[in-house]
Chain A
Amino acid sequence: MIFAILVLAVYGLIVRDDLIQKIMCLTIIQSVVILSFLTVGYTDLGIAPILTEVDAVFVDPIPQALMLTAIVIGVCFDSIALAIIVKLYQTKGTTRISELYER
């Protein structure tokens, strides 16, 4: 399932002409990567990695910490990208790369 979504997102990233759609595809790719890493640290019936009981089974905190960082970075990326696209639209009047050719 994850692989199918990844293939679709990569396809969209390469063939789509609109920059906003490209950013959406990139966000999907990033989400796929984040989901994959979270499954690496998943433990059945594991609880959040906060030391409340000595014998408790925790999920692995490293993937969670790294992916939390990746999510924050992803949000920053999306906001900066969309802000630049808005500026681009204001100056060029389009967000389509075929009309935006700039050396």
Chain B
Amino acid sequence: MSAESLLGTCRLILVVFPLIPVFGVLVILAAQYGFRRDISLGALRCTIVVQTALAAAIVYCYRGDALIVPVAMWEYSIVFQWDAYRPYFMAAYITPVVFALFAARRLDGTTIRVIFLFYLAGCSGIIVTGDLFNFYVFYEVMIMAAYVLITVNRAYYAGIKYMVIGAVSSALLLAGIILLYASGAYLRFSFVDEIGAYSIDNIKFLALLFSMAFFVKGAFFPVSGWTATCHAATNSVVSGVLSSFTIFTGIFGMYYLVILPAVNAGYTPILEFIRILSVITVLVPSVFLFFEPDLKRCIAGSTVFTVGFVGILLSYQLFAPAFTYMAIHAVYKSTMFHLYDDLLVSGLVVRARRRSIAALFLTVLFTAGFFPSLVYFLKYAFLEINPYYRILVYVSMFFVFGSFFKFKYIVTERKISWSPAVLFFVMLSAYYVVFPFYRSISSTGLTIDLAILTLGIVAARPLYLRLRRFSSFDTKFVYVNLNFELFYIVVLLVVEIVLLRAYLA
């Protein structure tokens, strides 16, 4: 194919991609009301297959610089965009969606499947959006559907909690959009090219508003308490997409609307603030995780730990490792949620088939980031910048690994309809083949890793049982109720203002 035709294909895919789930909805509704037939399961699966094929096609066809596709020949027209980092977000989206393809039956009922398709439409739109107007609309489509999907298991409080937190972050995002527009910018992401011409006060306010919006959406500490409650409340298919992709739309926004503008405008204190907050986000939630007695909440809560590492990498402008981390995270996090349905959990005792336990062990290895997991190599990107990060990494690794090994695992043989373990191993093998960040490792590092691994396996459960009175430490003392979580947003805003004005400026 010629370069011109490849470009034409890319343009077409960018516009069509978010419309595929909407088309699926229309087909389901037409069959439902026209022919009284329920084809929702087939339509959902077809949508996922078509989107996966289109995702592969655009990654294959894309070459070179950012591709911007306006939908009209007007300078204010909304645009779709594809650039060097979009494939990572596409991978983070497609991975849980492929898991959903095999577990689609768990989305029980036509209504839920239709809402799930709207959810996919919002997610797909965010990946290809090139301006803030689009981003806001697609984000709201995605999150509105998510609000409903969270309540499928009658977890209404989790749903309303997600709604309130989500609405606050959306209000902050909207306020940022106002300021950006009032500064004289178009709403396209390409505003960063001319941001140097804006007033520095406006740039600071923009960074403040957008960063706060995405700290909340991306679940940075201390505004991360909702993740365990909300992501664990629904079924594994939805939880997988929420934890693998939706939470990282905060990272998407952070990259395009905070970090790139800050770098272009030379406003680096915001990067330092993101780094400080990311370090805390790695450390504190991993300690909370250790005292969490519910396995599904452990799986959901461990996403915050990953967000912290991605934040550190982003703050050093190590974009490729950061987004690779996010894409790999999608594989093991989706697997964990789907594996959860494979387990019989009773208090701190987990019964499962041998294959499921093996897969779970590997996913935990990835979550904590031990050798030879792929994320282990990604951490080296910032470990070399500051050696003190090693302490952070080792301490957090122990707590995260220990949070899963405080449970007692017992092998049982029971019949299950579908196991995600095979899909996990296939995807993981593919990632190992294409992974570009391998590097030689020191024997000291490997020995310490092995020591922490052994300590986690041997000492986590006795330590947890000894400290059991601190069980659910976070919900008892830190995230006591929704009011506390909302208060932390204000606290974070004040701390960010004070730090940026007084210390980091």
**Residues of chain A at the chain B interface (Cβ within 8 Å):** 10, 13-17, 19, 22-23, 26, 29-30, 33-34, 36-37, 40, 62-63, 65-66, 69-70, 73, 76-77, 80-81, 84-85, 87-88, 91-92, 97-98, 100-103
CB distance from B136 to the nearest CB of A (A): 7
B205 within 8 A of A: no
B157: chain A residues within 8 A (beta carbon): 88, 92, 100, 102
Other contacts beyond A14-B487, A29-B167, A101-B481: 9, CB < 8 A: A22-B482, A23-B164, A33-B174, A36-B175, A84-B160, A85-B160, A91-B156, A100-B157, A103-B294
Partner of B164 from the list A15, A22, A34, A37 (CB cut-off 8 Å) is A22
Q: Among residues 156 to 182 in chain B, which have CB atoms less than 8 Å away from a CB atom of chain A?
A: 156-160, 163-164, 167-168, 170-171, 174-175, 177-178, 181-182
* Contact digits for B221-252, partner A, Cβ 8 Å, 1 yes 0 no: 00000000100000000000000000000000
CB distance from B79 to the nearest CB of A (A): 14
Q: How far is the CA of A73 from the CA of B142 in the complex (A)?
A: 12
CB distance from A32 to the nearest CB of B (A): 8
A19: chain B residues within 8 A (beta carbon): 160
The 7 closest A-B pairs by CB, nearest first: A88-B156, A102-B157, A37-B178, A73-B140, A40-B182, A26-B167, A33-B174
Q: Are A33 and B171 in contact (CB under 8 A)?
A: yes
Q: How far is the CA of A36 from the CA of B178 in the complex (A)?
A: 8
CB distance from B371 to the nearest CB of A (A): 34
B268 within 8 A of A: no
B148 within 8 A of A: yes
**Residues of chain B at the chain A interface (Cβ within 8 Å):** 76, 133, 136-137, 140, 144, 147-148, 151, 154-160, 163-164, 167-168, 170-171, 174-175, 177-178, 181-182, 187, 229, 294, 297, 472, 475, 481-483, 486-487, 490
Q: How far is the CA of A10 from the CA of B155 in the complex (A)?
A: 26
A29: chain B residues within 8 A (beta carbon): 167-168, 171
Q: Are A26 and B164 in contact (CB under 8 A)?
A: yes
Q: How far is the CA of A80 from the CA of B160 in the complex (A)?
A: 9
Partner of A33 from the list B147, B160, B175, B483 (CB cut-off 8 Å) is B175
Q: Are B487 and A77 in contact (CB under 8 A)?
A: no
Q: Are A84 and B168 in contact (CB under 8 A)?
A: no
B154: chain A residues within 8 A (beta carbon): 87, 91
- The 26 sampled A-B contact pairs (Cβ below 8 Å) are A10-B490, A13-B164, A14-B483, A22-B164, A22-B482, A26-B164, A30-B167, A30-B174, A33-B178, A37-B177, A37-B181, A40-B178, A62-B76, A63-B178, A63-B181, A70-B136, A70-B174, A73-B144, A80-B163, A81-B163, A88-B157, A91-B156, A92-B156, A97-B482, A97-B483, A101-B481
A70: chain B residues within 8 A (beta carbon): 136, 174
Q: Are B155 and A102 in contact (CB under 8 A)?
A: yes
CB distance from B102 to the nearest CB of A (A): 29
A37: chain B residues within 8 A (beta carbon): 174, 177-178, 181
Q: Which of A10, A87, A101, A103 has the most CB of B within 10 A?
A: A103
CB distance from A19 to the nearest CB of B (A): 6
With contacts A14-B490, A22-B164, A91-B156 taken as known, whether A103 is within 8 angstroms of B472 at the C-beta atoms is yes
Q: Are B177 and A66 in contact (CB under 8 A)?
A: yes
A87: chain B residues within 8 A (beta carbon): 151, 154, 156
B156: chain A residues within 8 A (beta carbon): 84-85, 87-88, 91-92
With contacts A14-B490, A69-B137 taken as known, whether A77 is within 8 angstroms of B163 at the C-beta atoms is yes
CB distance from B484 to the nearest CB of A (A): 9
* Nearest B residue to A83, CB-CB: B148
* Nearest A residue to B178, CB-CB: A37
